Chains A and B, each alone.
Chain A
Amino acid sequence: MTIIPFPARSPRRYGDLVVTQPMALEDEADDVRSLAERLVAGEEAALEAVYDRWSPLVHTYALRALADPHDAEDVTQQVFVAAWRSRHTLTPSPSALPAWLIGIARHKVADVRAARARDADRLAAVVSLPGAHELHQSADEDVAEQLVVRQAVDEMPDPRRTILFLAFWEEHSHAEIAERVGLPLGTVKSHLRRGLITLHRQLEGVRHESR
Protein backbone atom coordinates (compact mmCIF):
# COMPACT_ATOMS: atom_id res chain seq x y z
CA MET A 1 0.00 0.00 0.00
CA THR A 2 1.33 3.40 -0.94
CA ILE A 3 0.61 6.38 1.23
CA ILE A 4 1.06 9.60 -0.64
CA PRO A 5 2.45 12.31 1.57
CA PHE A 6 -0.16 14.84 0.62
CA PRO A 7 -0.44 17.61 1.46
CA ALA A 8 2.70 18.29 3.40
CA ARG A 9 1.84 18.88 7.01
CA SER A 10 4.33 20.67 9.15
CA PRO A 11 5.09 18.64 12.23
CA ARG A 12 3.90 20.05 15.51
CA ARG A 13 6.66 21.72 17.37
CA TYR A 14 5.31 21.18 20.83
CA GLY A 15 3.15 18.88 22.82
CA ASP A 16 2.49 15.23 22.68
CA LEU A 17 -0.79 15.14 20.87
CA VAL A 18 0.42 14.15 17.44
CA VAL A 19 -1.84 11.43 16.22
CA THR A 20 0.29 8.62 14.93
CA GLN A 21 -2.06 5.72 15.41
CA PRO A 22 -5.52 5.34 14.04
CA MET A 23 -7.66 6.46 16.91
CA ALA A 24 -11.26 5.68 17.56
CA LEU A 25 -13.61 8.64 17.58
CA GLU A 26 -14.43 8.02 21.21
CA ASP A 27 -10.79 8.04 22.28
CA GLU A 28 -10.27 11.32 20.51
CA ALA A 29 -13.34 12.80 22.19
CA ASP A 30 -12.13 11.63 25.62
CA ASP A 31 -8.75 13.13 24.85
CA VAL A 32 -10.17 16.58 24.16
CA ARG A 33 -12.50 16.40 27.13
CA SER A 34 -9.71 15.53 29.55
CA LEU A 35 -7.57 18.30 28.11
CA ALA A 36 -10.42 20.71 28.81
CA GLU A 37 -10.74 19.36 32.34
CA ARG A 38 -7.04 19.86 32.99
CA LEU A 39 -7.28 23.41 31.67
CA VAL A 40 -10.23 24.20 33.93
CA ALA A 41 -8.25 22.79 36.85
CA GLY A 42 -5.57 25.38 36.15
CA GLU A 43 -2.86 23.12 34.76
CA GLU A 44 -0.45 25.28 32.80
CA ALA A 45 0.76 22.33 30.71
CA ALA A 46 -2.83 21.94 29.53
CA LEU A 47 -2.81 25.52 28.30
CA GLU A 48 0.36 24.79 26.36
CA ALA A 49 -1.22 21.70 24.81
CA VAL A 50 -4.38 23.65 23.96
CA TYR A 51 -2.25 26.39 22.42
CA ASP A 52 -0.20 23.96 20.38
CA ARG A 53 -3.25 22.24 19.04
CA TRP A 54 -5.56 25.16 18.30
CA SER A 55 -3.42 28.26 17.86
CA PRO A 56 -3.16 27.66 14.08
CA LEU A 57 -6.98 27.56 13.94
CA VAL A 58 -7.36 30.78 15.95
CA HIS A 59 -4.51 32.52 14.14
CA THR A 60 -5.76 31.59 10.68
CA TYR A 61 -9.26 32.68 11.61
CA ALA A 62 -7.95 36.06 12.80
CA LEU A 63 -5.80 36.39 9.67
CA ARG A 64 -8.77 35.77 7.42
CA ALA A 65 -11.08 38.05 9.40
CA LEU A 66 -8.64 40.94 9.83
CA ALA A 67 -6.26 40.56 6.87
CA ASP A 68 -3.38 41.88 8.91
CA PRO A 69 -0.58 39.67 10.26
CA HIS A 70 0.18 41.94 13.20
CA ASP A 71 -3.45 42.17 14.33
CA ALA A 72 -3.83 38.43 13.85
CA GLU A 73 -0.88 37.76 16.17
CA ASP A 74 -2.27 40.13 18.77
CA VAL A 75 -5.69 38.53 18.63
CA THR A 76 -4.16 35.05 18.93
CA GLN A 77 -2.24 36.12 22.00
CA GLN A 78 -5.31 37.75 23.54
CA VAL A 79 -7.51 34.73 22.88
CA PHE A 80 -5.28 32.29 24.74
CA VAL A 81 -4.56 34.64 27.62
CA ALA A 82 -8.31 35.32 27.92
CA ALA A 83 -8.97 31.59 27.68
CA TRP A 84 -6.64 30.97 30.59
CA ARG A 85 -8.09 33.74 32.73
CA SER A 86 -11.68 32.68 32.10
CA ARG A 87 -11.04 28.96 32.05
CA HIS A 88 -13.63 28.40 34.79
CA THR A 89 -16.33 29.30 32.24
CA LEU A 90 -15.46 26.32 30.06
CA THR A 91 -17.68 23.29 30.35
CA PRO A 92 -15.55 20.36 29.22
CA SER A 93 -17.02 18.43 26.33
CA PRO A 94 -15.48 16.93 23.19
CA SER A 95 -16.01 19.96 20.96
CA ALA A 96 -16.14 22.64 23.63
CA LEU A 97 -12.52 23.71 23.27
CA PRO A 98 -12.38 24.77 19.61
CA ALA A 99 -15.90 26.21 19.82
CA TRP A 100 -15.03 28.18 22.93
CA LEU A 101 -11.75 29.45 21.49
CA ILE A 102 -13.47 30.55 18.29
CA GLY A 103 -16.13 32.28 20.37
CA ILE A 104 -13.44 34.25 22.21
CA ALA A 105 -11.66 34.98 18.92
CA ARG A 106 -14.89 36.38 17.47
CA HIS A 107 -15.09 38.89 20.29
CA LYS A 108 -11.45 39.91 19.92
CA VAL A 109 -11.86 40.32 16.16
CA ALA A 110 -14.91 42.50 16.77
CA ASP A 111 -12.86 44.60 19.19
CA VAL A 112 -10.16 45.15 16.58
CA ARG A 113 -12.73 46.12 13.97
CA ALA A 114 -14.37 48.56 16.34
CA ALA A 115 -10.99 50.06 17.17
CA ARG A 116 -10.19 50.41 13.48
CA ALA A 117 -13.51 52.09 12.85
CA ARG A 118 -12.84 54.51 15.72
CA ASP A 119 -9.31 55.18 14.56
CA ALA A 120 -10.49 56.11 11.11
CA ASP A 121 -13.42 57.98 12.55
CA ARG A 122 -15.64 55.82 10.43
CA LEU A 123 -17.73 54.39 13.23
CA ALA A 124 -20.78 56.34 12.18
CA ALA A 125 -20.46 55.08 8.64
CA VAL A 126 -20.13 51.50 9.77
CA VAL A 127 -23.06 51.47 12.13
CA SER A 128 -25.29 53.29 9.68
CA LEU A 129 -24.72 50.55 7.11
CA PRO A 130 -27.63 48.22 7.76
CA GLY A 131 -26.61 44.61 8.02
CA ALA A 132 -22.88 45.26 7.87
CA HIS A 133 -22.44 43.57 11.19
CA GLU A 134 -24.49 40.54 10.18
CA LEU A 135 -22.59 40.30 6.91
CA HIS A 136 -19.33 40.15 8.79
CA GLN A 137 -20.73 37.63 11.18
CA SER A 138 -21.98 35.12 8.63
CA ALA A 139 -18.78 35.43 6.59
CA ASP A 140 -16.77 34.86 9.75
CA GLU A 141 -18.81 31.80 10.63
CA ASP A 142 -18.23 30.32 7.18
CA VAL A 143 -14.51 30.88 7.58
CA ALA A 144 -14.51 29.39 11.06
CA GLU A 145 -16.34 26.27 9.86
CA GLN A 146 -14.04 25.81 6.90
CA LEU A 147 -11.05 26.02 9.21
CA VAL A 148 -12.57 23.58 11.68
CA VAL A 149 -13.07 21.12 8.81
CA ARG A 150 -9.52 21.67 7.63
CA GLN A 151 -8.11 20.96 11.06
CA ALA A 152 -10.31 17.90 11.52
CA VAL A 153 -8.99 16.44 8.26
CA ASP A 154 -5.42 17.39 9.18
CA GLU A 155 -5.79 15.44 12.40
CA MET A 156 -7.16 12.29 10.80
CA PRO A 157 -4.89 9.28 10.69
CA ASP A 158 -3.65 8.18 7.30
CA PRO A 159 -4.74 6.86 4.88
CA ARG A 160 -8.07 8.57 5.64
CA ARG A 161 -6.52 12.02 5.68
CA THR A 162 -4.88 11.56 2.29
CA ILE A 163 -8.03 10.05 0.81
CA LEU A 164 -10.17 12.96 1.99
CA PHE A 165 -7.69 15.48 0.65
CA LEU A 166 -7.56 13.81 -2.74
CA ALA A 167 -11.36 13.71 -2.92
CA PHE A 168 -12.39 17.02 -1.37
CA TRP A 169 -9.45 19.27 -2.13
CA GLU A 170 -8.06 17.84 -5.34
CA GLU A 171 -11.46 16.64 -6.57
CA HIS A 172 -10.16 13.30 -7.79
CA SER A 173 -12.61 10.57 -8.63
CA HIS A 174 -12.94 7.67 -6.23
CA ALA A 175 -11.39 5.34 -8.79
CA GLU A 176 -8.39 7.63 -9.27
CA ILE A 177 -7.90 7.81 -5.53
CA ALA A 178 -8.04 4.04 -5.20
CA GLU A 179 -5.29 3.77 -7.75
CA ARG A 180 -3.12 6.44 -6.18
CA VAL A 181 -3.29 5.12 -2.64
CA GLY A 182 -3.26 1.49 -3.74
CA LEU A 183 -6.43 0.51 -1.87
CA PRO A 184 -9.57 -1.25 -3.10
CA LEU A 185 -12.31 1.11 -4.30
CA GLY A 186 -14.67 -0.07 -1.56
CA THR A 187 -12.13 0.78 1.11
CA VAL A 188 -11.66 4.26 -0.32
CA LYS A 189 -15.41 4.88 -0.34
CA SER A 190 -15.71 3.61 3.20
CA HIS A 191 -12.99 6.02 4.36
CA LEU A 192 -14.77 8.88 2.62
CA ARG A 193 -18.13 8.06 4.20
CA ARG A 194 -16.66 7.68 7.67
CA GLY A 195 -14.56 10.78 7.21
CA LEU A 196 -17.54 12.84 6.15
CA ILE A 197 -19.51 11.66 9.18
CA THR A 198 -16.61 12.62 11.45
CA LEU A 199 -16.41 16.09 9.90
CA HIS A 200 -20.16 16.52 10.23
CA ARG A 201 -20.08 15.63 13.94
CA GLN A 202 -17.17 17.93 14.52
CA LEU A 203 -19.00 20.83 12.89
CA GLU A 204 -22.22 20.08 14.72
CA GLY A 205 -20.37 20.06 18.01
CA VAL A 206 -18.70 23.37 17.31
CA ARG A 207 -21.99 24.93 16.19
CA HIS A 208 -23.78 23.65 19.24
CA GLU A 209 -21.11 24.73 21.70
CA SER A 210 -20.66 28.20 20.28
CA ARG A 211 -24.34 29.02 20.63
Chain B
Amino acid sequence: MSHAEPDQLAGLALDPDDASEAVREHAQTCPECAALVAAFTGTRRRAGADALVAPPAHVRDRVLADVRAPAPPTAPPPVVVRERRGVPAWLAAVAAALALVAGIGLGRIGTGETPAPEASDPTPVETDDGGEVVAATALTALDSDAERGEASVTDRDDVITLRVRARDLGDEDGFHEVWLINVDGKRMVGVGILADGDDGEFKVPRHLIDDGYRIVDISVEPDDGDPTHSGVSLARGELA
Protein backbone atom coordinates (compact mmCIF):
# COMPACT_ATOMS: atom_id res chain seq x y z
CA MET B 1 0.00 0.00 0.00
CA SER B 2 1.20 3.50 -0.74
CA HIS B 3 1.68 5.92 2.14
CA ALA B 4 -1.30 7.50 3.79
CA GLU B 5 -2.07 11.15 3.07
CA PRO B 6 -0.80 13.69 5.62
CA ASP B 7 -4.42 14.75 6.04
CA GLN B 8 -5.39 11.21 7.06
CA LEU B 9 -2.44 10.93 9.42
CA ALA B 10 -3.25 14.30 11.00
CA GLY B 11 -6.78 13.00 11.56
CA LEU B 12 -5.34 9.89 13.17
CA ALA B 13 -3.20 12.00 15.48
CA LEU B 14 -6.18 14.13 16.44
CA ASP B 15 -8.62 11.29 17.05
CA PRO B 16 -7.74 7.64 16.41
CA ASP B 17 -11.41 6.73 16.30
CA ASP B 18 -11.92 9.04 13.36
CA ALA B 19 -9.39 7.35 11.12
CA SER B 20 -10.32 4.55 8.78
CA GLU B 21 -9.22 1.04 9.56
CA ALA B 22 -6.87 0.99 6.56
CA VAL B 23 -5.07 4.14 7.65
CA ARG B 24 -4.74 2.93 11.23
CA GLU B 25 -3.28 -0.39 10.10
CA HIS B 26 -0.88 1.23 7.68
CA ALA B 27 0.39 3.66 10.29
CA GLN B 28 1.07 0.77 12.63
CA THR B 29 3.34 -0.97 10.17
CA CYS B 30 4.89 1.85 8.13
CA PRO B 31 7.75 3.59 9.99
CA GLU B 32 7.49 6.74 7.89
CA CYS B 33 3.79 7.25 8.43
CA ALA B 34 4.13 6.31 12.11
CA ALA B 35 6.82 8.96 12.44
CA LEU B 36 4.57 11.55 10.89
CA VAL B 37 1.73 10.67 13.26
CA ALA B 38 4.16 10.98 16.17
CA ALA B 39 5.31 14.37 14.84
CA PHE B 40 1.70 15.58 14.57
CA THR B 41 1.04 14.41 18.11
CA GLY B 42 4.16 16.25 19.29
CA THR B 43 3.02 19.38 17.51
CA ARG B 44 -0.40 19.09 19.13
CA ARG B 45 1.32 18.96 22.52
CA ARG B 46 3.13 22.21 21.73
CA ALA B 47 -0.20 24.02 21.80
CA GLY B 48 -1.27 25.72 24.99
CA ALA B 49 1.17 28.60 25.36
CA ASP B 50 -0.28 31.81 26.75
CA ALA B 51 -0.70 34.72 24.40
CA LEU B 52 2.50 36.34 23.21
CA VAL B 53 3.38 39.54 25.02
CA ALA B 54 4.32 42.46 22.82
CA PRO B 55 7.22 44.53 24.15
CA PRO B 56 6.44 48.11 25.24
CA ALA B 57 6.48 50.68 22.45
CA HIS B 58 9.71 52.30 23.62
CA VAL B 59 11.63 49.14 22.69
CA ARG B 60 10.64 49.67 19.06
CA ASP B 61 11.77 53.29 19.23
CA ARG B 62 15.11 52.23 20.66
CA VAL B 63 15.68 49.62 17.98
CA LEU B 64 15.02 52.12 15.21
CA ALA B 65 17.18 54.76 16.91
CA ASP B 66 20.06 52.28 17.25
CA VAL B 67 19.71 51.23 13.66
CA ARG B 68 19.60 54.77 12.33
CA ALA B 69 22.47 56.11 14.42
CA PRO B 70 25.96 55.72 13.02
CA ALA B 71 28.09 53.22 14.86
CA PRO B 72 29.80 55.03 17.75
CA PRO B 73 33.52 55.56 17.22
CA THR B 74 34.41 53.48 20.24
CA ALA B 75 32.53 50.48 18.90
CA PRO B 76 34.27 47.84 16.84
CA PRO B 77 34.54 48.88 13.22
CA PRO B 78 31.25 48.54 11.43
CA VAL B 79 31.11 45.51 9.23
CA VAL B 80 31.42 46.76 5.73
CA VAL B 81 28.51 45.10 4.07
CA ARG B 82 26.96 47.21 1.45
CA GLU B 83 24.53 45.66 -0.89
CA ARG B 84 25.43 47.22 -4.14
CA ARG B 85 22.38 48.91 -5.42
CA GLY B 86 21.59 49.06 -9.06
CA VAL B 87 21.81 52.79 -9.62
CA PRO B 88 20.97 53.79 -13.16
CA ALA B 89 23.94 55.32 -14.92
CA TRP B 90 22.21 58.65 -15.54
CA LEU B 91 21.30 58.97 -11.85
CA ALA B 92 24.82 58.17 -10.73
CA ALA B 93 26.10 60.86 -13.07
CA VAL B 94 23.69 63.44 -11.65
CA ALA B 95 24.63 62.53 -8.09
CA ALA B 96 28.33 62.73 -8.92
CA ALA B 97 27.83 66.16 -10.49
CA LEU B 98 25.94 67.37 -7.42
CA ALA B 99 28.65 66.05 -5.15
CA LEU B 100 31.25 67.89 -7.21
CA VAL B 101 29.40 71.20 -7.02
CA ALA B 102 28.86 70.83 -3.29
CA GLY B 103 32.51 70.00 -2.72
CA ILE B 104 33.77 72.98 -4.69
CA GLY B 105 31.44 75.28 -2.85
CA LEU B 106 32.62 74.14 0.54
CA GLY B 107 36.25 74.00 -0.41
CA ARG B 108 36.36 77.59 -1.54
CA ILE B 109 34.87 79.08 1.56
CA GLY B 110 37.46 81.07 3.38
CA THR B 111 40.38 79.68 1.48
CA GLY B 112 40.50 82.01 -1.48
CA GLU B 113 42.76 80.85 -4.25
CA THR B 114 44.31 78.08 -2.24
CA PRO B 115 46.72 75.95 -4.22
CA ALA B 116 46.06 72.26 -4.52
CA PRO B 117 46.63 70.59 -1.15
CA GLU B 118 49.12 68.19 -2.70
CA ALA B 119 51.43 71.12 -3.18
CA SER B 120 51.96 71.65 0.52
CA ASP B 121 53.96 69.65 2.99
CA PRO B 122 52.13 66.57 4.40
CA THR B 123 52.34 67.88 7.97
CA PRO B 124 52.78 71.59 7.65
CA VAL B 125 53.42 73.82 10.63
CA GLU B 126 52.65 76.83 8.51
CA THR B 127 50.34 76.35 5.58
CA ASP B 128 50.71 78.19 2.33
CA ASP B 129 47.99 80.61 3.24
CA GLY B 130 49.58 81.41 6.54
CA GLY B 131 47.23 79.53 8.82
CA GLU B 132 48.66 77.98 11.94
CA VAL B 133 48.17 74.24 12.42
CA VAL B 134 46.44 73.90 15.75
CA ALA B 135 45.67 70.18 15.60
CA ALA B 136 46.43 67.23 13.36
CA THR B 137 46.00 63.50 13.16
CA ALA B 138 47.00 60.56 11.04
CA LEU B 139 44.05 58.78 9.45
CA THR B 140 43.92 55.00 9.64
CA ALA B 141 41.58 52.26 8.59
CA LEU B 142 39.20 51.03 11.27
CA ASP B 143 39.87 47.33 10.98
CA SER B 144 43.65 47.65 10.84
CA ASP B 145 46.35 50.24 11.35
CA ALA B 146 46.67 50.77 7.61
CA GLU B 147 47.47 54.40 6.85
CA ARG B 148 44.77 56.38 5.16
CA GLY B 149 46.36 59.83 5.06
CA GLU B 150 46.12 62.70 7.47
CA ALA B 151 43.93 65.57 8.59
CA SER B 152 44.82 68.90 10.12
CA VAL B 153 43.08 71.98 11.42
CA THR B 154 44.43 75.43 10.72
CA ASP B 155 43.46 78.63 12.40
CA ARG B 156 43.93 81.86 10.48
CA ASP B 157 42.25 85.07 11.48
CA ASP B 158 39.79 83.04 13.49
CA VAL B 159 38.82 80.96 10.48
CA ILE B 160 39.10 77.27 11.29
CA THR B 161 39.82 75.07 8.31
CA LEU B 162 39.82 71.30 8.35
CA ARG B 163 42.17 69.96 5.73
CA VAL B 164 41.91 66.31 4.77
CA ARG B 165 44.42 64.45 2.66
CA ALA B 166 43.28 60.88 2.39
CA ARG B 167 44.56 57.98 0.36
CA ASP B 168 43.77 54.35 -0.36
CA LEU B 169 40.08 54.79 0.35
CA GLY B 170 39.19 52.00 -2.04
CA ASP B 171 36.86 52.01 -4.98
CA GLU B 172 33.55 51.10 -3.43
CA ASP B 173 30.58 52.69 -5.19
CA GLY B 174 29.51 56.01 -3.76
CA PHE B 175 31.22 59.19 -2.67
CA HIS B 176 33.41 60.00 0.31
CA GLU B 177 32.01 62.23 3.01
CA VAL B 178 33.91 63.82 5.87
CA TRP B 179 32.44 63.90 9.35
CA LEU B 180 33.50 65.26 12.71
CA ILE B 181 32.48 62.90 15.49
CA ASN B 182 32.33 64.17 19.02
CA VAL B 183 34.65 62.42 21.46
CA ASP B 184 31.56 61.62 23.52
CA GLY B 185 30.67 59.15 20.80
CA LYS B 186 27.11 60.41 20.64
CA ARG B 187 27.12 63.29 18.19
CA MET B 188 28.47 63.94 14.77
CA VAL B 189 28.29 66.54 12.02
CA GLY B 190 28.92 66.14 8.35
CA VAL B 191 31.36 68.74 7.07
CA GLY B 192 31.40 67.96 3.37
CA ILE B 193 32.26 65.70 0.52
CA LEU B 194 35.65 64.79 -0.87
CA ALA B 195 34.89 65.88 -4.38
CA ASP B 196 38.35 66.28 -5.89
CA GLY B 197 40.16 63.01 -5.41
CA ASP B 198 40.80 62.18 -1.79
CA ASP B 199 41.64 65.67 -0.60
CA GLY B 200 39.44 68.45 0.64
CA GLU B 201 39.27 71.56 2.78
CA PHE B 202 36.31 72.47 4.94
CA LYS B 203 35.65 75.57 6.93
CA VAL B 204 34.17 74.66 10.31
CA PRO B 205 32.88 76.72 13.23
CA ARG B 206 35.53 77.02 15.91
CA HIS B 207 33.21 75.94 18.68
CA LEU B 208 32.78 72.50 17.10
CA ILE B 209 36.42 71.69 17.74
CA ASP B 210 36.23 73.25 21.19
CA ASP B 211 33.11 71.23 21.95
CA GLY B 212 34.86 67.96 21.30
CA TYR B 213 34.11 67.29 17.64
CA ARG B 214 37.65 66.13 17.09
CA ILE B 215 37.35 62.71 15.49
CA VAL B 216 37.73 62.99 11.74
CA ASP B 217 35.83 60.27 9.95
CA ILE B 218 35.56 59.52 6.25
CA SER B 219 32.60 57.43 5.14
CA VAL B 220 31.55 56.01 1.84
CA GLU B 221 28.01 57.09 1.03
CA PRO B 222 25.70 55.49 -1.49
CA ASP B 223 23.98 57.82 -3.91
CA ASP B 224 20.68 57.21 -2.17
CA GLY B 225 19.81 60.72 -1.05
CA ASP B 226 19.94 59.69 2.60
CA PRO B 227 21.81 62.49 4.38
CA THR B 228 22.81 60.37 7.37
CA HIS B 229 26.07 58.50 7.84
CA SER B 230 26.03 55.21 5.94
CA GLY B 231 27.68 53.43 8.86
CA VAL B 232 30.59 52.43 6.64
CA SER B 233 33.71 54.29 7.73
CA LEU B 234 36.87 54.04 5.66
CA ALA B 235 39.24 56.12 7.77
CA ARG B 236 39.38 57.78 11.13
CA GLY B 237 41.68 59.78 13.36
CA GLU B 238 41.38 61.99 16.41
CA LEU B 239 42.68 65.55 16.15
CA ALA B 240 45.18 66.39 18.83
Measured CB to CB, the residues of A under 8 A from B are: 7, 9-10, 13-14, 40-42, 44, 47-48, 51-52, 55-57, 59-60, 63, 72-73, 76-77, 80-81, 84-86, 88, 143, 145-151, 153-154, 164, 168-169, 174, 189, 192-194, 196-197, 199-200, 203-204
B32 to chain A, nearest CB (A): 14
B48 and A169 form a contact (CB under 8 A): yes
Whether, in the assembled complex, B116 has its beta carbon less than 8 Å from a beta carbon of chain A, the answer is: no
Which of A51, A146, A149, A196 counts the most B-chain CB atoms under 10 A from its CB? A196
A196 touches which of B43, B60, B81 (Cβ 8 Å): B43
A85 to B57, CA, bound (A): 21
Known: A169-B47, A193-B11, A196-B14. A56 touches B53 (CB 8 A): yes
Q: Mark B1-32, 1 if CB is under 8 A from A, else 0.
A: 00000110011011100100000000000000
Contact between A203 and B79, CB atoms less than 8 A apart: no
B145 at the interface (CB under 8 A from A): no
Are B64 and A200 in contact, with the CB atoms below 8 A? Answer: no
Please report the C-alpha to C-alpha distance between residue A160 and residue B49 in the assembled complex, in whole angstroms: 17
How many angstroms from the CA of A84 to the CA of B10 in the assembled complex? 38
Which residues does chain B contribute within 8 Å of A153, judged by CB atoms? Answer: 47
Q: Smallest Cβ distance from B38 to chain A, in angstroms?
A: 11
Q: Does B66 contact A (CB under 8 A)?
A: yes
Q: How far is the CA of A188 from the CA of B30 in the complex (A)?
A: 28
> What 5 A-B pairs are tightest by C-beta distance, nearest first?
A168-B47, A56-B52, A146-B49, A59-B55, A193-B10
CB B43 to nearest CB in A, in angstroms, measures 5
Q: A109 to B60, alpha carbons, bound, how many Å?
A: 19
Are B67 and A199 closer than 8 Å at their CB atoms?
Answer: no
The distance in angstroms between the C-alpha atoms of A197 and B43, with both chains bound, is: 9
Pair A200/B55 contact, Cβ less than 8 Å? no
Can you spell out 28 A-B residue pairs with CB atoms less than 8 angstroms apart?
A13-B57, A14-B60, A44-B68, A48-B64, A51-B60, A52-B60, A55-B54, A55-B55, A56-B54, A59-B53, A73-B55, A76-B59, A77-B63, A80-B63, A81-B63, A85-B78, A88-B81, A145-B46, A146-B49, A150-B49, A164-B47, A192-B14, A194-B10, A196-B14, A199-B43, A199-B46, A200-B10, A200-B39
Q: Which residue of chain B has its CB nearest to the CB of A10?
A: B54
With a CB–CB cut-off of 8 A, which chain B residues contact A168?
44, 47-48
A154 and B67 contacting across the interface, CB-CB below 8 Å: no
Complex: chain A residue closest to B18, CB-CB: A189
In the bound assembly, the distance between CA atoms of A52 and B55 in angstroms comes to 10
Instruction: Using A40-B83, A149-B43, A168-B47 as known contacts, say yes or no to A73 and B56 having CB atoms under 8 A apart.
Output: yes
